[in-house]
Amino acid sequence: MLKKNLSLIIRFYKDAKVSGLLLFTVFILSQFSMLSLIGKYRTCMQYDRCYKSIPDVDRSVYYMYGENLTAGNDFTAKYHEVLSELSQNSCVEDISCRSYMGTVIDREEEVNVIAMDERLLGYGSDTGIDEDGHIQIFLSPDVFTDRSVTDEIDLQIRTDEQTVNIRAVISGRYKAAEYLPGFNIYSNKMDCYDMLTEYTNTIFVVKTPETEKLLMKNDMYDSRTGFIFFSDGSAVSERSEVLEEMNRSGFSISTYDDIIANTEYKTNKLLEDAIPLPLMTFVLTFLFSISMVVLMLDKNMQTYSVYYLCGLSKKKSYFLFLSSIGISELLAAVINAAITLYCLYFPERRPEYMQDIMFSWNNLYLLLVQAVFVLMIIFLEIVITYHKRSFIQIKNQELK
């Protein structure tokens, strides 16, 4: 029975090869534009989500020391001195910034080694070193792809002046689109988009006194931007004093509320700019696919009236109609699922125009939901165009 049904399903496209190909293409485009639309929305939401997922970020401020991020090392001593003073304040729980530790070579390419606090990395132990004394490293998705988590690895970390050989253990690997603070932008309208970066080509270590000792403190370059986390329960007045002190010392500051408000504003603007085109593509291709289905049903009406004459019930006609269109929809979904998986597993190989589209495993469910939704509409079309017409009506209209 399966062979018979398959044979009839294939024959659905026999006299409509071009229309069938067009319908298949439109299904692919429709599904892809839906994934793009949701992917762009997801990208915007991801920044907000990643920022809010930093522990205790709601009682933090984001700062920049000095006016120019590329001012060199002139301010370094003063900067560390001021940070040290600030950290003495009872309402300051932690000061967190990024340290550049040098580079290692992976497949003839330089990979940055970056140190950050455990709370910013979202991973790591208190010391950043495992029980065997190996430094824990966390990889961006594109680094050491031939190695697995728990593998041990010898790293030769180089700065301009010296090289350090370290035995490390791979303790984690970031998924694509895992945004972490980039610490390389500050603006007076600071938002999550400025703050967070999708790191590539990077090895992370947890910034602790122990790891700093191993990696040689002298060669670390601290970012001039960072977070100050206030302690839980500290008074507003105490925090204000610290902020005033920071202002006086040459810091620019953005509070959590400022960043959230700026992010919301920018997200709305980004969505206004980014959504209309894929939305329009989605709506147009969706409508076009429905029209194409109507045309194809009409084209096959004559054939199905002959099938009916030969003993095909109307119910089974719906099944065959639906399967014939469904197979095209399903194939398109398989192609889009393959694109999703490719982008998930090889994020660095994505084409440029797909960089801001966030792919997720949820895409597979979305494709399924869309396919079911489209098939329901098609079923409705079949009922409207076919169910109400008797064989006699179709024969009189189509066969004469």
Partner 1 sequence: MNIIELHEINKTYPIGKDRFHALKNVSLTVERGEMLSVMGASGSGKTTLLNIIGLLDGFDSGEYILSGENVTKLRDHESANIRNGRIGFVFQDFCLLQNESALFNVMLPMYFNKTSFWKMKRKAAETLKHVGLQETQYKKPVKLLSGGQKQRVAIARAIVNEPDIILADEPSGALDSESSRQIMEVFKELNRESKTVIVVTHDETVSGYYNRVIRIGDGRIV
> In terms of Cα–Cα distance, which of 123, 117, 95, 175 is closest to 358?
175
Q: How far is the CB of 22 from partner 1 (least distance, A)?
A: 20
> In terms of Cα–Cα distance, which of 356, 146, 151, 349 is closest to 137?
151
| Nearer to partner 1 among residue 223 and residue 305 (C-beta) | 305
| Nearer to partner 1 among residue 2 and residue 236 (C-beta) | 2
> In terms of Cα–Cα distance, which of 98, 104, 129 is closest to 201?
104
| Nearer to partner 1 among residue 72 and residue 311 (C-beta) | 311
Q: How far is the CB of 295 from partner 1 (least distance, A)?
A: 18
Q: How far is the CB of 354 from partner 1 (least distance, A)?
A: 42
Joined together, the tokens standing for residue 78 give: 């003063």
What is the Cα–Cα distance from 249 to 130, expressed in whole angstroms? Answer: 38
What is the Cα–Cα distance from 369 to 14, expressed in whole angstroms? Answer: 28
What is the Cα–Cα distance from 219 to 310, expressed in whole angstroms? Answer: 85
Q: How far is the CB of 3 from partner 1 (least distance, A)?
A: 5
| Nearer to partner 1 among residue 312 and residue 375 (C-beta) | 312
| Nearer to partner 1 among residue 8 and residue 260 (C-beta) | 8
Which residues are paired to 61 by β-bridges? Answer: 228, 255
| Nearer to partner 1 among residue 119 and residue 316 (C-beta) | 316
> How far, rounded to the nearest angstrom, does the alpha carbon of residue 227 sit from its chain's CA centroid?
24
| Nearer to partner 1 among residue 16 and residue 279 (C-beta) | 16
| Nearer to partner 1 among residue 227 and residue 308 (C-beta) | 308
Which residue ranges make up the site for partner 1 (CB under 8 A)? 3-4, 7-8, 11, 14-15, 303, 305-316, 390-392, 395, 399-400
| Nearer to partner 1 among residue 294 and residue 306 (C-beta) | 306
One-character DSSP codes across 285-330 = HHHHHHHHHHHHHHHHHHHHHHHHHTT--HHHHHHHHHHHHHHHHH
Q: What angle do CA 164, 162, 184 make, to 5 degrees?
A: 90
What is the Cα–Cα distance from 77 to 136, expressed in whole angstroms? Answer: 29
Q: How far is the CB of 264 from partner 1 (least distance, A)?
A: 57
> In terms of Cα–Cα distance, which of 367, 289, 282 is closest to 330?
367
Q: Is 46 left (phi over 0), alpha (psi -120 to 50) or beta?
A: alpha
- Return contacts of 235-240, CB within 8 angstroms, 24+ apart: 235/91, 238/89, 238/90, 238/91, 239/91
Residue type, 49: R
Q: How far is the CB of 20 from partner 1 (least distance, A)?
A: 15
